[in-house]
Amino acid sequence: MSRPQRSAAPLRLDLQIIADMIEPRTRVLDVGCGDGALLAYLDRAKGVDGRGIELSQAGVNACVSHGLSVIQGDADTDLKDYPKHSFDYAVLSQTLPATSDPKGVLLDLMRIGRHAIVSIPNFGYWRLRLSLLMGGQIAIPDGNAHRWHDTPNIHPCTIADFVELSAELGIRILRSVSIDRRGRIRQSGTPRPLANLVDEQAIFLLRKD
Amino acid sequence: MAAEDALSEAEAPARPGLYAEFGRDQPFKLDSGAELGPFTIAYQTYGKLNAAKSNAILVCHALSGDQFVTGINPLTGREGWWEPMVGPGLTLDTERYFVLCANVLGGCMGTAGPKEICPATGEPWGLSFPVITVADMVRAQKLLIDRLGIEKLFCVTGGSMGGMQALQWAASYPERLVTAVPVATAARHSAQNIAFHEVGRQAIMADPDWCEGDYLRRGKVPQRGLAVARMAAHITYLSEAALHRKFGRNLQDRLSITYGFDADFQVESYLRHQGSTFVDRFDANSYLYITRAMDYFDLAQEHGGVLANAFRKSPVRFCVISFTSDWLFPTRECKEIVRALNSVAANVSFVEVRSDKGHDAFLLDEPEFFATFSGFLAGAAEHIGLEPA
């Protein structure tokens, strides 16, 4: 497995967008932090006091052995242990559709962080729609890594679905950034309807008052 | 330093290792209410304390451990108990850190315990030694740390009962340590673990040579009782998979079963060997006292029943480590600690290391364990700008 970057290696685009939303010297909880790339970057570039939760043993070990504060845990069960507003930001990148209770997880994030930053793969992306419409088969937005029966994304949602759920839960979308296949970035407050069709993933900065 | 408290080679010329005396001016108060007059702590150090005295790592030993962490133990002639962990270039790198370990209160390797001479009577304490707790052990260690002029320990660590002490340190003296690494441990001793300890104690007390605890004065040793206690305990330190891999149903020096009660099976012979060698190096009464201290350990209880309260506003960076096949101090017990730490937003890492070696995994060569531990220490050292030795 890849090691978290200790040098100034470039961050994956979606993680860079998340990092750009985070103010320096804040407290960040990265839920599903993987190999700790985002946490390592935030520590190095922004002086952030970061913590992580990661399901995979290999990911946790890689993080801790590189000096990051990470625990092995599960977004669905372990978020309830954290007190209200114990972090400035609670980050969940690409993991929401893989949780068994996305709504509960989202509310936990809003409780733990003064802000939450959530990124999702967009199941409304036109190629996925086309695949279902023309090919009659479910397409998965992570390329060819998974098929319908083994994808961890058990709760697929589109940008529009996410916007609707946020409104329903009284969560304000302060910023949204979406990315298309070529890595072109679209920024706005609430995402524009076009993004739901042409962009592959979206990142939201959220707040609940 | 008061003159009568000074370390004195002359006082104990024949005993190897380092010794410090405490409690002469003021008796040492124990949780039980009893007081300990002048008493000795035996300890060992490895590596060099840096000028800022900021690179000290206190290793806390487990039930059957002692202060001789690495190298040959001069009292037993055996290898140190944390040989793969402590030394130049190893996880607790003695070229970088100053590692120290003290024999626990109630122990039998030079620190005050039932085997030592009671100053008031000039005879071995035996069962007149006061019952001690994990918190007492830690308070005694703090006296030593104060004596050595160490304001802040870089790390307190240990496995099993050593992990309990690390947790107690973090709870009692949060300002005196930078990091705590409790390994294969729990914030309280479970009913099952108390039960196993009781089996061991009963085995010792059932041995007629125990003499109601007075065996030292009568020139006897409750060898059979202590050996059985060790045999039973040793099973709990392993895992079924490890036992099976090591021994299976293999027979010991024979081609077929003998229809008798000899050690037909290798596993029996192994356990008998574990029992008999333990008797040579460990004091039976010490075994009673230390197991009792573990049984009494319940960190939540001394904080209003809420474990999290033990760590509120703690500045300590924690790294909790468990092993998958440890059924004596299972991962779920470690996760209780992690949960409590998270609930007060403490700085905590947690890793469950995959191993089939059971509870004893923390003593063995487990590369994943070492990588995690040394990485955590390196990160913390960088964070505080730790000066080299």
Answer yes or no: do B158 and B263 share one domain: no
pLDDT per residue as tens digits for the range B12-30: 446 889 999 999 999 999 9
Last residue of some domain: B292, B327, B357? B292
Q: What is the mean pLDDT of residues B223-245?
A: 96
Least confident among A138-152, A154-168, B192-206: A138-152
- From A189, A191, A177, A160, select the one nearest A18 (Cα to Cα): A177
pLDDT per residue as tens digits for the range B23-74: 999 999 999 999 998 999 999 999 999 999 999 999 999 999 999 999 999 9
Residue B321 has pLDDT above 60, yes or no: yes
Q: B371 to chain A: which residues are within 8 Å by CB? A: 61, 65
Q: A65 to chain B: which residues are within 8 Å by CB? A: 371-372, 374-376
CA-based nearest distance A192→chain B, Å: 37
**B203, part of any domain:** yes
At residue A57, the 3 state secondary structure works out as helix
**B88, part of any domain:** yes
Option in B354, B374, B383 nearest A57 (CB) = B354
CATH number of the structural domain spanning residue B89: 3.40.50.1820
Number of domains, chain B:
2
Residue B10 has pLDDT above 80, yes or no: no
Answer yes or no: do B286 and B368 share one domain: no
The chain-wide mean pLDDT, for chain A, equals: 91
**B316, part of any domain:** yes
Task: Look at residue B6 in the predicted model and tell me its pLDDT.
Answer: 44
> Are the Cβ atoms of A71 and B383 closer than 8 angstroms?
no
pLDDT per residue as tens digits for the range B85-141: 999 999 999 999 999 999 999 999 999 999 999 999 999 999 999 999 999 999 999
Q: With beta carbons less than 8 A apart as the criterion, state whether A137 and A149 touch.
A: no
> Are the Cβ atoms of A71 and B342 closer than 8 angstroms?
yes
pLDDT higher at A137 or B102 = B102
> Are the Cβ atoms of B352 and A57 closer than 8 angstroms?
yes
pLDDT band of A2, cuts 50, 70, 90: very low
Q: Is B9 exposed, middle or buried (0-12, 13-18, 19+ CB in 10 A)?
A: exposed
Q: What is the mean pLDDT of residues B200-216?
A: 98
> Are the Cβ atoms of A66 and B375 closer than 8 angstroms?
yes
CA-based nearest distance B324→chain A, Å: 11
Answer yes or no: do B66 and B79 share one domain: yes
Answer yes or no: do B211 and B334 share one domain: no
Answer yes or no: do B216 and B320 share one domain: no
Answer yes or no: do B210 and B338 share one domain: no
CATH number of the structural domain spanning residue B260: 1.10.1740.110
Answer yes or no: do B10 and B87 share one domain: yes
At residue A70, the 3 state secondary structure works out as strand
Catalytic residue positions of B, numbered: 160, 326, 359
pLDDT band of A3, cuts 50, 70, 90: very low
Sign for the pseudo-dihedral over CA of A153, A155, A159, A162: negative
Q: What is the DSSP string of B209-253?
A: GGGGGTTTTTT---HHHHHHHHHHHHHHHS-HHHHHHHTTT-BSS
pLDDT band of A57, cuts 50, 70, 90: confident
Strand-pair category, B317-323 with B347-353? parallel
pLDDT higher at B224 or A148 = B224
Task: Look at residue B183 in the predicted model and tell me its pLDDT.
Answer: 98
Rounded distance, CA B4 to CA B219, Å? Answer: 33
> Are the Cβ atoms of A64 and B338 closer than 8 angstroms?
no
Give the B-side interface with A, CB within 8 Å: 317, 319, 338-339, 342-345, 347-354, 368, 371-372, 374-376, 378-380, 382-383
Task: Look at residue A147 in the predicted model and tell me its pLDDT.
Answer: 86
> Are the Cβ atoms of A67 and B352 closer than 8 angstroms?
no
Judged by a CB distance cut-off of 8 A, whether residue A50 touches chain B is no
- From B136, B130, B215, B145, select the one nearest B176 (Cα to Cα): B145
**B389, part of any domain:** no
Roughly what angle, to the nearest 10 degrees, separates helices B223-237 and B266-281?
A: 120
Q: For residue B305, what are the domain limits?
A: 3-188+297-384
At residue B29, the 3 state secondary structure works out as strand
Answer yes or no: do B197 and B228 share one domain: yes
pLDDT per residue as tens digits for the range A175-203: 999 999 998 998 888 888 899 999 999 99
Rounded distance, CA B185 to CA B182, Å? Answer: 6
Answer yes or no: do B273 and B320 share one domain: no
Task: Look at residue A61 in the predicted model and tell me its pLDDT.
Answer: 84
Option in B317, B338, B353 nearest A71 (CB) = B338
At residue B319, the 3 state secondary structure works out as strand
Option in B352, B354, B378 nearest A67 (CB) = B378
Q: What is the mean pLDDT of residues B268-296?
A: 97
Task: Look at residue B2 in the predicted model and tell me its pLDDT.
Answer: 41
The chain-wide mean pLDDT, for chain B, equals: 94
pLDDT per residue as tens digits for the range A78-136: 999 899 999 999 999 999 999 999 999 999 999 999 999 999 999 999 999 998 999 89
> Are the Cβ atoms of B343 and A82 closer than 8 angstroms?
yes
Answer yes or no: do B233 and B91 share one domain: no
pLDDT per residue as tens digits for the range B162-205: 999 999 999 999 999 999 999 999 999 999 999 999 999 999 99
Percent of chain B clearing pLDDT 70 (strictly above): 96
Q: What is the mean pLDDT of residues B306-310?
A: 96
Last residue of some domain: B257, B292, B327? B292
**B223, part of any domain:** yes
Task: Look at residue A138 in the predicted model and tell me its pLDDT.
Answer: 84
**B370, part of any domain:** yes
User: Residues 82..141 of A with a Cβ closer than 8 Å to B: which?
Assistant: 82-83, 86-87
Last residue of some domain: B242, B259, B292? B292
Answer yes or no: do B269 and B169 share one domain: no
- All structural domains of chain A, each given as residue ranges with its CATH number in brackets, are 13-123+156-207 (3.40.50.150)
**B137, part of any domain:** yes
Q: With beta carbons less than 8 A apart as the criterion, state whether A63 and A4 touch.
A: yes
pLDDT band of A8, cuts 50, 70, 90: low
pLDDT band of A209, cuts 50, 70, 90: confident
Pick among A33, A64, A108 to test the B interface (most B CBs inside 10 A): A64
Option in A61, A81, A83 nearest B351 (CB) = A61
Rounded distance, CA A161 to CA B193, Å? Answer: 51
Please give the backbone phi and psi of residue B266, each rounded to the nearest 5 degrees, phi first: -60, -40
Q: With beta carbons less than 8 A apart as the criterion, state whether B346 and A86 touch.
A: no
Tokens 């707790």 belong to residue:
B133
**B233, part of any domain:** yes
Q: B350 to chain A: which residues are within 8 Å by CB? A: 60, 70-73
Task: Look at residue A188 in the predicted model and tell me its pLDDT.
Answer: 85
CA-based nearest distance A63→chain B, Å: 9
Rounded distance, CA B380 to CA B389, Å? Answer: 16
Task: Look at residue A1 in the predicted model and tell me its pLDDT.
Answer: 37
Task: Look at residue B1 in the predicted model and tell me its pLDDT.
Answer: 40
Answer yes or no: do B358 and B307 share one domain: yes
Residue A139 has pLDDT above 90, yes or no: no
